[in-house]
Amino acid sequence: MAFDLDTFAETSEAVTWHDLDLDTFESRPLDADTLRTLRYMCDVEYHTSCFLREMLVTPSHREEDAAGFMTMWNREEFWHGEALAAVLARHGIVVDYDELKAKRVKLGWRLAIGTVKQSALANLIGSDFVAAHMTWGAANELSAVAAYRRLADMHDHPALSPLLRRIAQQETRHVAFYTTQARERLQASPRARGLVRSILEKYWKPVGSGIMEESEVRHVMGHLFAGRAEELDKLDRRLQRLPGLEGISMFRAAFARLGIA
């Protein structure tokens, strides 16, 4: 079923969390590994604005559907960060979006160079860059849904588990957009099919890579997926449904490179 962008825009809203009893964290506080994982997730969600900044210098921003979606996507991801930050605050961990943003601004030329490189790469690839962007986005969102659901299942917590499942549910709509777009573009271009497969197999890493230290990526992904190879196989099977990605085992390979699963 095709993704309805108008419906998505009309129904896009902040993830609901104020109805959850966060006071339960006083009697049932989260363990250190879970808090570390939540902090990682929170930082990634807040970092979405930087991803959007990079996408605005690529051919994707000239695509009406992609540009419209990214506006709503950016807002929803920010709200996910706000909700996770509220949970962390109940454990004495303060995550301030403006502070994180200020730190990134201080990177100055490094951020600027990253955007220039993104733009140069996109222009080199041409129109098939959009197919790569959409497929990469599908992979990221699929893994995000799996991560949120996995963490929710690891805890039978009256406040945390419902929140994580609500975030995961919103992320599934992001998956639907990306996969719809990716399928259409991959079907239309044999060159894109070969290009996208090569990019994913060689360069895809778990969400948060490049933002966090590799040791942090390894710790968090190990906390969620160590011994859960079947979960990674399920993600690979989802990507295998896309044209040109038959038989791909990108997730399993990427986690194996980190020594996980």
Residue 91 belongs to a domain: yes
Q: How far is residue 238's CA from residue 58's CA, in Å, rounded to a whole number?
A: 26
Query: For the domain that residue 132 is a member of, what is the CATH number?
Result: 1.10.620.20
What pLDDT, on the 0 to 100 scale, is given for residue 80? 96
> CA gyration radius for the chain?
18
Residue 90 belongs to a domain: yes
Tally of domains in the chain: 1
Residue 1 belongs to a domain: no
Residue 216 belongs to a domain: yes
Domain range holding 239?
29-257
Intervals of the chain under pLDDT 50: 107-117, 119-120
* 217 phi/psi in degrees, rounded to 5: -60, -45
Residue 7 belongs to a domain: no
What pLDDT, on the 0 to 100 scale, is given for residue 98? 72
C-alpha angle 227/229/230, rounded to 5°? 120
Residue 177 belongs to a domain: yes
Contact 50, 199 (CB under 8 A): no
Q: Is 83 exposed, middle or buried (CB count within 10 Å of its CB: 0-12, 13-18, 19+)?
A: buried
What pLDDT, on the 0 to 100 scale, is given for residue 61? 55
Residue 109 belongs to a domain: yes
Q: For the segment 16-33, what is each residue's pLDDT rounded down to a tens digit?
A: 999 999 999 999 999 999
Residue 22 belongs to a domain: no
